[in-house]
C-alpha cells in the first residue's frame, strides 16, 4: 500500500503541486503523514485499510504512526534495519537461526566490483561444471562481504537495549547443534577465519555464550570439557522446553448470509467519488493554454515554401531573442553594433540574427514604450510567475460544478517586461503577429495580460495600472483596458 501511494505521488506530481500552494509545506507534511499511516494500516491489504479509514472517520481521525520509544508502554516489532538509531528499555532478538542469504555466491557467473568476473567452466562435452581459480576467489570475497554485513546487522541488534537484552536461539537437537560452538569455544577460535563457515547468527551467539562462565547449562550437551573466558559481564542462560502444541479449534458453523452487510457492500461497490469532476481538470496549466483555448488553428506555410526559409513565427522568435538581451538605458542602442555584441557573447543565435529585421525593430526604440522603460525605477524582463486560481475561473468545463469549480489550479507564465515605478506598475508584452488591427490584439491577448496583472498584483508593492501590447507590425503600442467589455474565458479569470 505504501508503494502504491508513493507511485501515485510520483506519477501525478501531486506533492510538488501542493508544495507550491499557500501553506504548502504544512500540506505536504500532512500528505506524507497520511501516506505513512495508510502504509501501516494497509499492511494486510486493501480491506484492512478501508476498515482503518472507517474507524478513523468514526473516531478522532487519522493519527500519524509513531515508532520505538516515542510510544511508551507498547511493544514494537520491527526489522533490525528499521531499529537503527533507536533505543528501547527491553529488546528481544529473535529468528537467530535464519540462514544467511548466500545466493550471490552460487551463480555460474559471478561479478565483483574490484576482482571482476569469475566463471565456472564445463568439462568437455559433459554437463558437469568445475570452478576456476578466479571464480573461487570472487565467491570467497562475496561470501566474506556478506558475512561482514551480517555481523554489522547483528551488532545493531545487540546494541539497541538500554536495560535488558533477551536473545532466543532455537535448538531442536542440542547435542548436534552445540557441537561446533563447543569446539570453537574450547579452542577459543573466534577469529574471522573460524567464523567464516557460519550459516546463521546462532553459531556466533552460541560460541560467545559457551565462553561465558555462566554457560554450564550448555556444556552439559557437549562431550568436551568446559572452557571459559573470565568476564564480569552478566549473562543468564536458560534452556526452555518448547510449549505444548495447540490443538486446532473445531471448525465453526458457516455463517448465515447477512442482508445488511450485503446491502452495505453493494452500496460501497456502486460508490461514486464526489470529486469525480476533478478527473478532467488539470493540476497545472500555462497562461497560453488558458487564454487561447477558443482561438482557431491556423495552418502556416511549410518552411521550404517561405522565401527566407524560415516561418513567420521563427522571425518573431528572432525579435524576441534580440530584445531579451538589449540593455535598457537612457539612450537607445546602436542596433547593428548591438546585434554584433550579442553574437560575440553567444546571446543571439546566428541563424536568428540572419532573419532579424532591424527596420521593423528600430521604431520600438523611438516609441513612448522605450521612454517609459528608460524612466522606470525597476525593469523586470522575462519574469516568470506561478499562481493558484479556482478551477472554475481557469477551465471552462469546471464552471458551475460545485467543489470542482473551487479546486485550485496552478497557472504559470512569463511576462515579457514589467515596469515598476514609484506609485504604479505597467505590464508590457511584445507581439509579432502580422495583423495591423488593434481590435485583433485586444480580443486575442487581453485576457492574457489581465491574468498577468492578477498574478503580479500579489507580488509587486505597487498596483498594476497599465497593460500594454507593442505590435511590431503596427509599429505602435496598444492599451489594453483593465476592465472587461465583453464576457468570455478571460472574464472568468476575475470572477465576472
DSSP structure string for 316-342: HHHHHHHHHHSPP-SS---HHHHHHHH
Fold classified for 88-219: Rossmann fold (3.40.50)
Query: Rounded to a whole number, what is the distance in angstroms from the first to the last CA of the chain?
Result: 44
Q: Rounding to the nearest 10 degrees, give the CA dihedral for residues 355, 360, 362, 364.
A: -120
Q: Is the per-residue pLDDT at 62 higher than 70?
A: no
Fold classified for 279-311+355-492: Lambda Exonuclease; Chain A (3.90.320)
pLDDT in tens, 133-180: 999 999 999 899 989 999 999 999 999 898 999 999 998 888 888 899
**Cell numbers representing residue 134 in the block:** 578466479
Q: Are 196 and 144 in contact (CB under 8 A)?
A: yes
* Confidence grade of residue 464 (pLDDT, cut at 50, 70, 90): very high
Q: What is the mean pLDDT of the chain?
A: 82
pLDDT in tens, 91-137: 999 999 889 888 888 888 999 999 999 998 887 777 788 889 999 99
Alpha-carbon distance of 3 to 232, in angstroms, equals 48
Q: Which residue has the higher pLDDT, 430 or 287?
A: 430
CA distances to 59, 180, 207, 351, 419 from 191, rounded to whole Å, are 57, 14, 11, 73, 77
* Confidence grade of residue 470 (pLDDT, cut at 50, 70, 90): very high
Q: Are 353 and 321 in contact (CB under 8 A)?
A: no
Look at residue 184 and give its three-state secondary structure.
helix
For position 291, what pLDDT does the model report?
63
For position 317, what pLDDT does the model report?
85
For position 155, what pLDDT does the model report?
92
Residue spans of the domains in the chain: they are: 2-65, 88-219, 279-311+355-492
For position 68, what pLDDT does the model report?
46
Q: Give me the mean pLDDT over the 447-473 stretch.
A: 89
Please spell the DSSP secondary structure of 35-64, one letter per residue: HHHHHHHTTT-HHHHHHHHHHHHHTT----
Phi, psi of 110 (to 5 degrees): -115, 150
Q: Which residue has the higher pLDDT, 345 or 310?
A: 345
Q: Report H helices in 423-481.
A: 438-457
For position 60, what pLDDT does the model report?
63
Q: Which of 287, 279, 494 is nearest to 410 (CA)?
A: 287
* Confidence grade of residue 285 (pLDDT, cut at 50, 70, 90): confident
Weakest-pLDDT range from 38-42, 98-102, 440-444, 468-472: 38-42
* Confidence grade of residue 307 (pLDDT, cut at 50, 70, 90): low
Q: Are 472 and 319 in contact (CB under 8 A)?
A: yes
For position 130, what pLDDT does the model report?
86
Contacts of 78 (CB under 8 A, 6+ apart): 67, 68
Alpha-carbon distance of 227 to 238, in angstroms, equals 18
For position 310, what pLDDT does the model report?
55
For position 42, what pLDDT does the model report?
79
Q: Are 219 and 182 in contact (CB under 8 A)?
A: yes
Amino acid at each position: 500500500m505504501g508503494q502504491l501511494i508513493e507511485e501515485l505521488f510520483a506519477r501525478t506530481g501531486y506533492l510538488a503541486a501542493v508544495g507550491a500552494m499557500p501553506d504548502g509545506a504544512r500540506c505536504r507534511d500532512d500528505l506524507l503523514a497520511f501516506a505513512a499511516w495508510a502504509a501501516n494500516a494497509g499492511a494486510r491489504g486493501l480491506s484492512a485499510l478501508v476498515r482503518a479509514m472507517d474507524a478513523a472517520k468514526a473516531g478522532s481521525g487519522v493519527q500519524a504512526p509513531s515508532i520505538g520509544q516515542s510510544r511508551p508502554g507498547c511493544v514494537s516489532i520491527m526489522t533490525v534495519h528499521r531499529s537503527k538509531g533507536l533505543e528501547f528499555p527491553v529488546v528481544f532478538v529473535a529468528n537467530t537461526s535464519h540462514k544467511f542469504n548466500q545466493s550471490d555466491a552460487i551463480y555460474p557467473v559471478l561479478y565483483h566490483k574490484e576482482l571482476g568476473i569469475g566463471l565456472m567452466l564445463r568439462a568437455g562435452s559433459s554437463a558437469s561444471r568445475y570452478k576456476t581459480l578466479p571464480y573461487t576467489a570472487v565467491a570467497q570475497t562475496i561470501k566474506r562481504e556478506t558475512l561482514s554485513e551480517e555481523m554489522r546487522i547483528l551488532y545493531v541488534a545487540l546494541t539497541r537495549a538500554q536495560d535488558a537484552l533477551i536473545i532466543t536461539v532455537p535448538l531442536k537437537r542440542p547435542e548436534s547443534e552445540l557441537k561446533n560452538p563447543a569446539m570453537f569455544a574450547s579452542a577459543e577460535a573466534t577469529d574471522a577465519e573460524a567464523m567464516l563457515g557460519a550459516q546463521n547468527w546462532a553459531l556466533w551467539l552460541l560460541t560467545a555464550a559457551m565462553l561465558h562462565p555462566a554457560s554450564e547449562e550448555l556444556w552439559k550437551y557437549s562431550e568436551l570439557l568446559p572452557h571459559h573466558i573470565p568476564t564480569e559481564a552478566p549473562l543468564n542462560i536458560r534452556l526452555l522446553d518448547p510449549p505444548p502444541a495447540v490443538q486446532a479449534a473445531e471448525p465453526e458453523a458457516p455463517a448465515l448470509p447477512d442482508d445488511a452487510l450485503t446491502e452495505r457492500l453493494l452500496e460501497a461497490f456502486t460508490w461514486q467519488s464526489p470529486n469525480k469532476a476533478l478527473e478532467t481538470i488539470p493540476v497545472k496549466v500555462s497562461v497560453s493554454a488558458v487564454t487561447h483555448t477558443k482561438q482557431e488553428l491556423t495552418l502556416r506555410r511549410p518552411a521550404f515554401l517561405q522565401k527566407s526559409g524560415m516561418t513567420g513565427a521563427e522571425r518573431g522568435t528572432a525579435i524576441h531573442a534580440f530584445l531579451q538581451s538589449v540593455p535598457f538605458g537612457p539612450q537607445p542602442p546602436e542596433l547593428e553594433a548591438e546585434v554584433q555584441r550579442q553574437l560575440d557573447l553567444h546571446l543571439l543565435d546566428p541563424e536568428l540574427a540572419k532573419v532579424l529585421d532591424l527596420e521593423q525593430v528600430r521604431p520600438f526604440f523611438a516609441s513612448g514604450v522605450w521612454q517609459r522603460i528608460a524612466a522606470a525605477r525597476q525593469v523586470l524582463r522575462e519574469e516568470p510567475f506561478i499562481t493558484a486560481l479556482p478551477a472554475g475561473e481557469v477551465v471552462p468545463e469546471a464552471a458551475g460544478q460545485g467543489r470542482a469549480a473551487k479546486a485550485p489550479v496552478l497557472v504559470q507564465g512569463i511576462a515579457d517586461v514589467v515596469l515598476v515605478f514609484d506609485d504604479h506598475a505597467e505590464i508590457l508584452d511584445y507581439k509579432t503577429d502580422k495583423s495591423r488591427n488593434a481590435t485583433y490584439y485586444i480580443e486575442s491577448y487581453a485576457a492574457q495580460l489581465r491574468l498577468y496583472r492578477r498574478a503580479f498584483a500579489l507580488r509587486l508593492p505597487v498596483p498594476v495600472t497599465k497593460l500594454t501590447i507593442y505590435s511590431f507590425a503596427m509599429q505602435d503600442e496598444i492599451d489594453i483596458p483593465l476592465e472587461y467589455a465583453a464576457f468570455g474565458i478571460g472574464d472568468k479569470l476575475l470572477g465576472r
